[in-house]
Amino acid sequence: MSVNQQAHAGPPYGQPQPGYQGYQQPAYGGQSLPGAPQSQYGAYNGPMPGYQQPVPPQGYFPSLGFPSKGSPVSLNSDTSSLAPNFIGSLRAPPTSGAPPPASGASHPSGHVAYSQFEHGDVQNGIPASAAPMQRPPASQPFLPGSAPTPVSQMSTFQQYGPPQASVQQLRNHMAGMTIGSTAASAPPPAGLGYGVGPSSYPPTTGAPRPPAMPGPPLPGQTVAGPPSSQPNHVSSPPPPSTMAGLHPGPPMSGLHGPPPPTHPPQPGYQMQQNGSFGQMRGPQPNYGGAYPGAPNYGSPPGPPPPPKRLDPDSIPSPQLNELPPQQKPRHRIDPDAIPSPIQVIEDDRNNRGSEPFVTGVRGQVPPLVTTNFMVKDQGNASPRYIRCTSYNIPCTSDMAKQSQVPLAAVIKPLATLPPEETLPYLVDHGESGPVRCNRCKAYMCPFMQFIEGGRRFQCCFCSCVTEVPPHYFQHLDHTGKRVDFYDRPELSLGSYEFLATVDYCKNNKFPSPPAFIFMIDVSYNAVKSGLVRLICEELKSLLDYLPREGNMEESAIRVGFVTYNKVLHFYNVKSSLAQPQMMVVSDVADMFVPLLDGFLVNVNESRTVIASLLDQIPEMFADTRETETVFAPVIQAGLEALKAAECAGKLFIFHTSLPIAEAPGKLKNRDDRKLINTDKEKTLFQPQTSFYNNLAKDCVAQGCCVDLFLFPNQYLDVATLGVVPYQTGGSIYKYAYFQLETDQYRFLNDLRRDVQKEVGFDAVMRVRTSTGIRATDFFGAFYMSNTTDVEMAGLDCDKTITVEFKHDDKLSEDSGALLQCALLYTSCAGQRRLRIHNLSLNCCTQLADLYRNCETDTLINYLAKYAYRGVLSSPVKTVRDALINQCAQILACYRKNCASPSSAGQLILPECMKLLPVYLNCVLKSDVLQPGPEVTTDDRAYIRQLVTSMDVAETNVFFYPRLLPLTKADVDSDSLPAAIRNSEERLSKGDIYLLENGLNIFVWVGVNVQQGLIQNLFGVSSFSQISNALSTLPVLENPFSKKVRSIVDMLQGQRSRYMKLIIVKQEDKLEMLFKHFLVEDKSLSGGASYVDFLCHMHKEIRQLLS
């Protein structure tokens, strides 16, 4: 049998998932996540200077082989070691001196070549083979004895020695092995490790080879840590002199490796740290510290290694001391053989992107959020409005507890639809209002059952029978359906709106149109930075774009203006005035609004007075010396103004510093990094006073939503200032170290979108469920005064509410389960409406059906929000351990109850959850749960609040960022280049890459990029001339520049916030920040690499099973 090199064309992973579904982002690539710390690997072609290299600790599985595609993903190993068996094309070491295959080797069609290497680069990754990969049809246990896992870490390059003795044995073994058998016929012999797997890369010229390491550090020795990690949403750097976080941090202490083993190696076998035989994972230069089982995961240290015993099935390999020093074998799991997010995303796009997703069938799993697809509503709400963690839920609570899969829905009631999809129809039932169930008050929907010739209907939620009102009566056809079924949206569609009657309004009177109040900080910092002038200039034109209803000629929204520092200034901009009038309120302890008439005005009527005011404000405060600000009185002033006008509305507050001036809600600087990793760390996320919680409650009662734009140069306590925006359904935007020339474009884009987007005011949402389950828990930006109603002063088209369900009775497979989300809100024209979304789910008595219909992206969205709420009340370490434990239980339950019997050493993952470990690791490494030394307290509080109301597409790219090779982009097509995996070893020095996570876009430029490309993209002639200070790409008239700018514009259009552009040159100080987002690598803040975490999860699962 010929033993080929393994195809490099993307991992052999990710068969189309039967029902694995998603969202609308056009041409959406592999997404990545913010929050992953930087890698601790060496530079691409050599060791990173100055880092000590510890060895892997004990309990580390030296090699883990993965199967090729099949339903459950099974990863094979013997008892404690994972055998390097990868079924698929195999690769044996070539004879000595064989060069790696040419980088131009043809790639099988349909496979993405991860990188074509130029300029004499060494290829990072697995060489490409010309033969397409064989994919066994179904679940495939790994047979031991297949190929060695290629070394994916490129720190040192080794030449091949003579061919190994065991190649012939491998061939004999392979001859009798069936590739493609569906079930494990017999468990593989334990520990059949195929000999040494030295790397196939020739030495690079000029890369010094690190000396062989003497062994693991002894207890007490510390490992020198590389420079510190960075926030996962990047603040603009402070002035260059104090560039935060880009100088190497102090050494990290506490990553102790295990003590060196004390028993002598058996002749002919290499020792393995975990006590079984086969290949020992040799010391790896530049591999960050020991995989910190204990420090990272909080699990108790493992037991000492068991005594070695000879394993008759092991294939002897050359003795360690026979190999020259640079050829000491290093086994590492092949990163191309473990589940790849990129492959899963690509497969789903290919399989499900072309057909419309028709919602007529109960319990259908939608395409992934990364797939661009069209939705046809035929009775269930579009996945753009509701996504569930599982579309087939257990019939009993015992089964739900056993699986540990959370049952949750991520609901985005006012989601924006693509132009080709129809907006929800507005149904007007006149004065009688919408038809509802008498008992549970559910609204008429497609699942209601009409009986007695159409005179009554039986509620699908509570089974109560209700009379049909005479005006709503209609005959039934021979199938029992109403004759007007297709004419009524509420009988045939999953989503629709009702016009609400006066009974649904506050105080039983129809609401007035909402108002927008712009409140501008005019303290010294805001004026000096140019911010005040910038805001005033922008508002002159922006006020023409206030949101309006459908075909209205002008917006019904009225506007008002306030400026403030230690006191507040109100402006009368009544249309009859020649000049605006200013009124000052200096008694901030007892806030009131000094004028009623002329404060809130129609933009068109008062246009000249408003323009005059906006011209005067920057001049009035140009010479201010006032540095102190108030904050709570500003919100109180806006709230009082809306109360006086008897309307709902939104406050846009532009604020620069910690409010230390004497006033209600005054704060003190309590920032303390020493609390990190202590039991008091949770106080950093909690508000420092309850004053703001009470203020938020008053705002919600009035329908006063707060959007906060922050421009801090130092700590300003986001955890406290964010309480009111958060509980009123508002947004926070943060521009640290704001500089006019680099940040104005991003700020203005955010402001424009924030002012123009669709918002519902004075909103109340309730989720009803059919008998058997009920909504028990809610996550998002809102306020709750009781256990069922989610109240929001404002709800915009980007916000989601996540709802968790629990069983309160048994469900039946026949009737399934139903959800109905009803949102009552006031539109921007002052119309009271009800938006209804319905969804039907299947119910199952078999765990396999549950695992077959889960949606990992939604599951991760829920788990991240659950964990981010947990840090308010528990130590971060407890929260991390709980996440790992829950996921281990989910996977162990599958292994025990659904997978075909196989050796305990196999890691078997459900097909639609095979990305759970990689995504979960990204959540664990995010700045909230594992901050690097340079992540500020404010950054963490900001991210925590941001993620809590993100939708599934946003968390997907936030936690696993999208990485695109720009140099591979086809300048003649509209498509994006194929995404690659988030790891440093996928980068080539000769290429330019783009990484986006929803908050930032990085453009990484390799040191060997051709001069012509640099000239075309940056307009400079050499690598050294590229400026890090660019905040937009220069507009150049050439195809490459146009293509890259169009990619950036396309990505910006998909995101709810304008992403900050950061140019990163290889080997530059900013590269540390970029590496923080290469989430498959080890992170500087101590986060595990994907491979390590998979090993750790496997260990946890096995402990649960034993």
Each residue's pLDDT tens digit, 864-889: 999 999 999 999 999 999 999 999 99
Least confident of 585-589, 807-811, 930-934, 1048-1052: 930-934
Least confident of 74-88, 853-867, 934-948: 74-88
> Given a cut of 90, is residue 456 above it in pLDDT?
yes
Least confident of 76-90, 527-541, 747-761, 832-846: 76-90
pLDDT of residue 532: 98
Query: What integer is the mean pLDDT of 86-100?
Result: 40
> Given a cut of 90, is residue 496 above it in pLDDT?
yes
Report which of residues 469 and 677 the model is more confident about. Answer: 469
Query: What integer is the mean pLDDT of 1064-1069?
Result: 94
Confidence of residue 902 (pLDDT cuts 50, 70, 90): confident
pLDDT of residue 74: 54
Least confident of 33-42, 487-496, 794-803, 886-895: 33-42
pLDDT of residue 94: 43
Instruction: Give which of 775, 850, 849, 853 is closest to 819, Cα–Cα.
Output: 775
539: helix, strand or coil: helix
> Given a cut of 60, is residue 256 above it in pLDDT?
no
Q: Per residue in 1078-1094, pLDDT tens?
A: 999 999 888 999 999 99
Global pTM reads: 0.74
Q: Per residue in 504-525, pLDDT tens?
A: 999 899 999 999 999 999 999 9
pLDDT of residue 1048: 97
Query: What integer is the mean pLDDT of 925-936?
Result: 90
CA–CA separation, 119 and 988 (whole Å): 10
CA–CA separation, 798 and 872 (whole Å): 24
Q: Per residue in 343-377, pLDDT tens?
A: 999 999 999 999 999 999 999 999 999 999 999 99
Confidence of residue 332 (pLDDT cuts 50, 70, 90): low
Least confident of 128-132, 598-602, 713-717: 128-132
CA–CA separation, 87 and 334 (whole Å): 12
CA–CA separation, 439 and 452 (whole Å): 19
Instruction: Give which of 419, 424, 392 is closest to 405, Cα–Cα.
Output: 392
Instruction: Give which of 410, 55, 38, 428 is closest to 212, Cα–Cα.
Output: 55
Report which of residues 748 and 31 the model is more confident about. Answer: 748
Question: Which strands make up the sheet holding 408-411, listed edge to edge?
Answer: 386-388, 408-411, 801-807, 773-779
801: helix, strand or coil: strand
CA distances 417 to 376, 698, 1054, Å, are: 12, 33, 12
pLDDT of residue 30: 40
> And the tokens for 1053?
């259009």
pLDDT of residue 901: 84
Confidence of residue 86 (pLDDT cuts 50, 70, 90): very low
Instruction: Give which of 975, 987, 948 is closest to 725, Cα–Cα.
Output: 948
CA–CA separation, 263 and 261 (whole Å): 6
pLDDT of residue 55: 44
pLDDT of residue 1106: 86
Strands (E), 342-419: 357-358, 368, 375-376, 386-388, 392-394, 408-411
Most confident of 268-272, 282-286, 570-574: 570-574
pLDDT of residue 72: 52
> And the tokens for 70?
């099949």
Confirm if 931 and 106 have CB atoms less than 8 A apart.
no
Confidence of residue 301 (pLDDT cuts 50, 70, 90): very low
> Given a cut of 90, is residue 941 above it in pLDDT?
yes
Confirm if 520 and 862 have CB atoms less than 8 A apart.
no
Mean pLDDT for all residues in the chain = 79
Strands (E), 671-758: 704-710, 732-734
Quote the percentage of the chain above a pLDDT of 90.
66
CA–CA separation, 439 and 799 (whole Å): 31
CA–CA separation, 883 and 272 (whole Å): 30
Quote the percentage of the chain above a pLDDT of 70.
70
Q: Looking at the DSSP assignment, which residues form a beta bridge with residue 357?
A: 375
CA distances 46 to 41, 122, 202, 465, Å, are: 10, 10, 12, 74
CA–CA separation, 589 and 653 (whole Å): 19
204: left (phi over 0), alpha (psi -120 to 50) or beta: beta
Report which of residues 186 and 680 the model is more confident about. Answer: 680
Q: Looking at the DSSP assignment, which residues form a beta bridge with residue 451?
A: 456
Confirm if 512 and 646 have CB atoms less than 8 A apart.
yes
pLDDT of residue 136: 41
pLDDT of residue 306: 40
pLDDT of residue 995: 98
> Given a cut of 80, is residue 189 above it in pLDDT?
no
CA–CA separation, 1102 and 905 (whole Å): 8
Q: List alpha helices for 703-821, DSSP H.
A: 718-721, 723-727, 740-756
pLDDT of residue 596: 84
CA–CA separation, 1059 and 1044 (whole Å): 15
pLDDT of residue 31: 43
Q: Per residue in 546-564, pLDDT tens?
A: 999 877 889 999 999 999 9
pLDDT of residue 871: 96
Q: Which residue has the tokens 């697809």?
A: 373
Residues sharing a CB contact under 8 Å with residue 233, sequence separation 6 or more, in sequence order: 34, 734, 927, 939, 942, 943, 946, 997, 999, 1000
pLDDT of residue 334: 84
CA distances 351 to 14, 15, 341, 389, 503, Å, are: 11, 9, 15, 21, 48
Query: What integer is the mean pLDDT of 105-122?
Result: 41
CA–CA separation, 868 and 130 (whole Å): 46
pLDDT of residue 934: 82
Q: Looking at the DSSP assignment, which residues form a beta bridge with residue 426?
A: 497
Instruction: Give which of 314, 399, 258 is closest to 79, Cα–Cα.
Output: 314
Amino acid symbol at 1100: E
Long-range contacts of 1022-1030 (CB under 8 A, 24+ apart): 1023/1065, 1026/1063, 1026/1065, 1027/1063, 1028/1062, 1028/1063, 1028/1064, 1028/1065, 1028/1068, 1028/1070, 1029/742, 1030/1061, 1030/1063
pLDDT of residue 159: 40
pLDDT of residue 411: 98
